[in-house]
Structure 1
Amino acid sequence: MSYLKFDKSLMINLEQSLPKEILRTNKAGAYQCTTIVDCNTRKQHGLLVIPIPELDSDNHVLLSSLDETVIQHGASFNLGLHKYKGDCYSPNGHKYIREFNCEAVPQTMYRVGGVILTKEKVFISHENRILIKYTLLEAHSPTTLQFRPFLAFRNANALCQENYVLDQSYEEATNGISCCLYEGYPRLYMQFNKAVTFTPDPHWYKGIEYIKDQERGYPYQEDLYVPGYFEMSIKKGESIIFSAGVGEAKPRSFTRTYEEEIMNRTRRSSFFNCLKNSAEQLCIKERKGNYLLAGYPWFKVRARDEFIGLPGCTLAIDDIPAFEAVMKTAERALKRFMSEGHKDEMIQEIDSPDVLLWAIWTIQQYAKETGLENCLEKYGKLVSDILDYIIKDKHPNLFLHENSLLYSNGKDHVISWMNATVDGRPVTPRSGYLVEFNALWYNALYFAAALHQSVPGMEAKCDQWKKIGEEAGVSFVDMFLNDSGYLFDYVDGNFADWSVRPNMLWALALEYTPLDKKQRKTVLEVVTRELLTPKGIRTLSPKSYGYNPTYVGSEIERAYAYHQGPSRPWLMGAYAEAYLKVFGMSGVSFLERMLIGYEDEMSQGCIGSLSELYDGNPPFTGRGAISYAANVGEILRVLNLLKKYNI
């Protein structure tokens, strides 16, 4: 039985099927994304969504959707589905769906009278091209298929309206056509693996609506252009492959390319394989290097997210080469920032004060998997350079004070992962001595000393790091541990933030911590009691002022809720490590039970992946980006951690 299979009763119920999305990528920034009934519900949805560096740094929707029509005995049955004004869905092709299966590739089975037709989609790796395979399993009379392409040629974060600037011309291509609606865009080639007839019939389909954008308070109506339709006959047992890409392809190669792509897929046949598949799609390679995308469909590469998600998305699935490839690119960017103050074009927010600390944490995870000796050879100098850079106060907003703790100014702009803003101002203005900054700092000092302890000539530097670490440890406990048994979130001057937040977890989870076991156990009890949910760790306790657990409403309303209660799955990585450090083997079964909540999500939201965040209260609905690298990576890391305990 398939791990991810949905039957007719769910598919024809739009209330149940429309919230379920499917994502496929080319591992180079382009993607295909829609709902499991092929009705687009976001402006970022589309069959071919690609980056166009010549235009900007965003993705662009070229082919929004492709409506298929089955024709028998002169009767037409349209399999497409769009939402129009007035809550009208048309042409209601979902009523012909019998099942949807996405274990290997997304496959939809339709039944129209005596016709049984399957549709499978494959995005070609490292190429801006999608293949869609149609197979006629059953038919009792001659059958014809029609295909109407809905074209957008727009920024994925914008919307299209009927206009007269659009270029309606097209050129013939092998078994298809090519067109380019606007200057600056590449030509879109739409081809089949057999001869096809194209009939020009240009129309604007007006008033298509995207319900997810409507829910989020964004503009949600657009017009899409259909240049005409393709038509061909199909026989029982025959397969037809449609290709959409930015270069003309050879139709005779479609079948081979399709089969090769399927061979390289990680089948989503289990919880682990679903997350592995998702992680592989988040790792991208493009002309400037290798990166870990923060998430789909709207995130780009962000430094902090990359370092947090990288160990789980690579090392936890035994892909050390992928880790090293991404780190090679990241190391180059870090060095340029430290030496020249240069902000990388691809890796955003590399100047955030905690990014260097997260980079060392990431390298530490590599050391755990490959050994200190190998890690020293690969990244020893980078770790040493980062610590020297911080100790010499070269960072524009990370200052080493006399108490050996790190201080950052976050009053006017965001400096941590809690980065929501309204009118450019932080919603959560964390400033001064931040608890996770200094937990990471303490850990980095002792890790660097352990990493370099056998290196000739490094004795003095190792002693310096340990000395700073000893002083930082004392200062950390004095500053952050409060009388209620947990840690202040941040301290600035005479002000200490008593909010119960998850950032204190890093002081419990890291390999080197200034807290003793009794202190860690007490803090962990507070986190478990007030922050733990089946979908992650709350960003704020319900008992703390300002708790807002539901990430809904307008953009401003969502910004005020972003870090004020919703749960984050990626924080389970730190929680699991902290729990195992306190309870050892006796904590394994508890953590395994907690993972059930994440496995449930494999058939919700974005199929086979994890959303950016979840409401802090039941039913813990997924919100935000549909696939988030830090969440995928850290849950994979937890699975890997538990696996080692169970060996």
Structure 2
Amino acid sequence: MSYLRFDKTLMTNLEESLTREILRTNRSGAYHCSTIVDCNTRKYHGLLVIPVPELDDENHVLLSSLDETVVQHGAEFNLGLHKYHGDNFSPRGHKYIREFECEKVPTTIYRVGGVVLKKEKLFVHHENRILIRYTLLEAHSKTTLRLRPYLAFRSVRQYTHENAQASRHYDEVKNGLKTCMYPGYPDLYMQMSKNNDFHFQPDWYRGIEYTKEQERGYDFNEDLYVPGYFEMEITKDEPIVFSGGISEIEPERLNELFAQEADRRTPRDSFKNCLVNAAHQFLNKQGDEYYILAGYPWFKCRARDMFISLPGLTLAINELDKFDMVMNTAVKAIYAFMKGEDTSLIVYEMEHPDVLLWAIWTVQQFGKAISRKDAYQKYGNLLKDIMTYLVDGKHPNLALHDNGLVYSDGKDKAVTWMNATVNGRPVTPRSGYIVEFNTLWYNALMYVSELLAENEGASELSSRLAGIAEKTAKSFVDTFLNEYGYLLDYVDGDMLDWSVRPNMIFAASFDYSPLDAKQKKGIVDIATRELLTPKGLRSLSPKSGGYNPNYVGPQLQRDYAYHQGTAWPWLEGFYLEAYLRLYKRSAISFVERQMIGYEDEMSLHCLGAIPELFDGNPPFKGRGAVSFAMNVAQILRTLNLLEKYDNQ
């Protein structure tokens, strides 16, 4: 039985099936995303969604969907599903679905009278090409298959509507056609493995609605262009593969290519394997460079997210080669930033004050997974250059003060991971001595000074960093630790933020901390009492002012809730690491129970992935991006830590 399998009862219940999404990527920025009944509910959904760098840095929906129609004895049965105005769904093809599973590739089984048809979809790795294979499992008489493509040719941030500028022109290619609706876009090639007839019947399907966008307070309807339909006979002994891509392909290759790509997939037959598969989807190869996308469907490569995610997405699943590939690109981006050089690398937000400190933490995880010696040999010069850059005061917004703490100005611009803004100003302004920045800073001082001392002896830089760390440790406790046993979130002159937030948890989880064991336990205890949920740590305690746990409504309402009580799984990864440090093997059963809350998510929301955040109150509904790199990464890292404790 498949780990991710749904029967007719769920599939035909749109209240259940439309909330479940699937995501497939080509590991080069392109993706396919929709619901499990192939009814698009977001403007980001589509069969072929690709970057078009000649236009901008956004993804673009070329092929929105593909409706199948089974024809037998002159009767037509349309298997498609779209939502129109007034809660009208048409043509309601979901009623023919008998089962759906996606252990290796998403597979839908339809039954129409005496016809049983299997549909399987996958993305070709590192190629902008979606493949759909149709297999006739049962049929008592001649069966015809029609495929009707719905074209968009627009950015994921926009909509298309009926217009006279859209080109209806197409050219025939082998077993298909190519077309392009607007200048600047690549041609879309639609080909079949079998010879077929194309019937040119151009029309606009008007008023298609996207319920997720409506929920989020955005415009939510568009028109899609349908140039006509492909028609061919389908038999039980001849599967038909449809290819949608931006380059022509030999139709004779399609069946073999589909089989090869399917064999390369990691089966989603367990909780961990689902997460491993999700981890692979964040890898983004552009030319010779490798990046980590922060999430799907709308995030790009963000520097902080990349460094926090990288160890969990690679080292925790023994994929050292991927770690090296991404770090090679990341190192170039770090040096370009520190030297103030323009770069073609597509790493965003390198200027944020904590990014270089997270880069050191990432190298630290490499050293723990491989060896400290290897970490020094590969990244020793990088660590020295980063720390010299910081202690010499060259960072534009991370100043080292005489007390050993680092200071950042975040009054007018969001500089931490709590980055929601309204009218250009941060919703959660965190400025001055920020608790996780200084936790990262102390960890970096200690790690780099000790690593250098181990490999270079008492070098000038090593001694300098150790001296600063001694001051930092005392100032950290004096500045952040309050009489209630937890850490202030930030301190800026007379401004003390007493909010109970999860940013203090890093001081209990990092290898190097200015806190003693009793102080760490106090932080973990209050996080357990006020922040812990089955889906992550709350971004704010319910006992603190401004608690707003539900990430719902229009953009403004969601921005005010984004970091005011919502729960984030990636933070729980560090919490559970701290818990294991404190309680060792006796903590294993507790950590395993916490993991159950995430295993439940494998069959909800985006199948086999973890969404961006959850409401902070029951029922802890998943929100935001359908798959989020930091969440997947930290859960994988937690599973890896559990394995290590089990093997002790």
Q: TM-score range by the shorter chain?
A: over 0.9
Matched, 1:610 2:618: no
2:347 counterpart SS class: coil
Letter in 1 for 2:332: R
**Deviations 1:293-338, CA, capped at 9 Å, x for gaps:** 0000000000000011111001111100101110110100100110
What is residue 488 of structure 2 aligned with on the other side? Answer: 488
2:265 counterpart SS class: coil
Offset, 1:385: 0.7
Q: State how far apart, in whole Å, the 1-side matches of 2:565 and 2:88 are.
A: 35
Offset, 1:345: 4.7
The answer as to whether partners of 1:71 and 1:144 remain within 8 angstroms in 2 is yes
What is residue 195 of structure 1 aligned with on the other side? Answer: 195
Offset, 1:449: 1.6
What is residue 139 of structure 2 aligned with on the other side? Answer: 139
The answer as to whether partners of 2:162 and 2:204 remain within 8 angstroms in 1 is yes
What is residue 420 of structure 2 aligned with on the other side? Answer: 420
What is residue 508 of structure 1 aligned with on the other side? Answer: 508
Letter in 1 for 2:11: M
Matches within 5 A, 1:108-257: 108-257=108-257
Q: State how far apart, in whole Å, the 2-side matches of 1:457 and 1:272 are.
A: 42
Q: State how far apart, in whole Å, the 2-side matches of 1:331 and 1:345 are.
A: 11
**Deviations 1:432-472, CA, capped at 9 Å, x for gaps:** 00000000100001110222123336522211111111110
1:267 counterpart SS class: coil
Q: State how far apart, in whole Å, the 1-side matches of 2:207 and 2:149 are.
A: 17
Matches within 5 A, 1:542-621: 542-621=542-621
- Residues 300 and 94 from structure 1, CA distance in 2 versus in 1: closer, same or farther, beyond 3 angstroms? same
The answer as to whether partners of 1:343 and 1:351 remain within 8 angstroms in 2 is no
| TM-score of the superposed pair, with normalisation by structure 2 | 0.99
Q: Which range moves more in the overlay, 577-586 or 632-641? A: 577-586
Letter in 2 for 1:594: Q
What is residue 535 of structure 2 aligned with on the other side? Answer: 535
Identity percentage of aligned residues: 60
What is residue 356 of structure 1 aligned with on the other side? Answer: 356
1:570 counterpart SS class: helix
Q: State how far apart, in whole Å, the 1-side matches of 2:348 and 2:253 are.
A: 38
**Deviations 1:28-81, CA, capped at 9 Å, x for gaps:** 000000000000000010000000100000000000000000001100000000
The answer as to whether partners of 1:138 and 1:237 remain within 8 angstroms in 2 is no
Alignment length, in residue pairs? Answer: 647
The answer as to whether partners of 2:284 and 2:292 remain within 8 angstroms in 1 is yes
Offset, 1:140: 0.7
Q: State how far apart, in whole Å, the 1-side matches of 2:458 and 2:290 are.
A: 32
The answer as to whether partners of 2:367 and 2:375 remain within 8 angstroms in 1 is yes
What is residue 461 of structure 2 aligned with on the other side? Answer: 461
What is residue 3 of structure 2 aligned with on the other side? Answer: 3
What is residue 285 of structure 1 aligned with on the other side? Answer: 285
TM-align CA RMSD: 0.9
The answer as to whether partners of 2:282 and 2:294 remain within 8 angstroms in 1 is yes
The answer as to whether partners of 2:240 and 2:255 remain within 8 angstroms in 1 is no
Matched, 1:398 2:398: yes
What is residue 377 of structure 1 aligned with on the other side? Answer: 377
- Residues 503 and 76 from structure 1, CA distance in 2 versus in 1: closer, same or farther, beyond 3 angstroms? same
The answer as to whether partners of 2:41 and 2:209 remain within 8 angstroms in 1 is yes
What is residue 646 of structure 1 aligned with on the other side? Answer: 646
Offset, 1:340: 1.8
2:455 counterpart SS class: coil
Q: State how far apart, in whole Å, the 2-side matches of 1:427 and 1:415 are.
A: 11
Offset, 1:343: 6.8
2:456 counterpart SS class: coil
Offset, 1:344: 6.1
The answer as to whether partners of 1:85 and 1:208 remain within 8 angstroms in 2 is yes
**Deviations 1:411-450, CA, capped at 9 Å, x for gaps:** 0001100000000000000000000000010000111022
Offset, 1:625: 0.3
Extract unaligned runs of 5+ from structure 2.
none
Q: State how far apart, in whole Å, the 2-side matches of 1:324 and 1:126 are.
A: 18
Matched, 1:79 2:68: no
The answer as to whether partners of 1:333 and 1:344 remain within 8 angstroms in 2 is no
Q: State how far apart, in whole Å, the 2-side matches of 1:237 and 1:477 are.
A: 73
Q: State how far apart, in whole Å, the 2-side matches of 1:193 and 1:465 are.
A: 64
- Residues 569 and 343 from structure 1, CA distance in 2 versus in 1: closer, same or farther, beyond 3 angstroms? farther
The answer as to whether partners of 1:343 and 1:350 remain within 8 angstroms in 2 is no
What is residue 367 of structure 2 aligned with on the other side? Answer: 367
Letter in 2 for 1:503: N
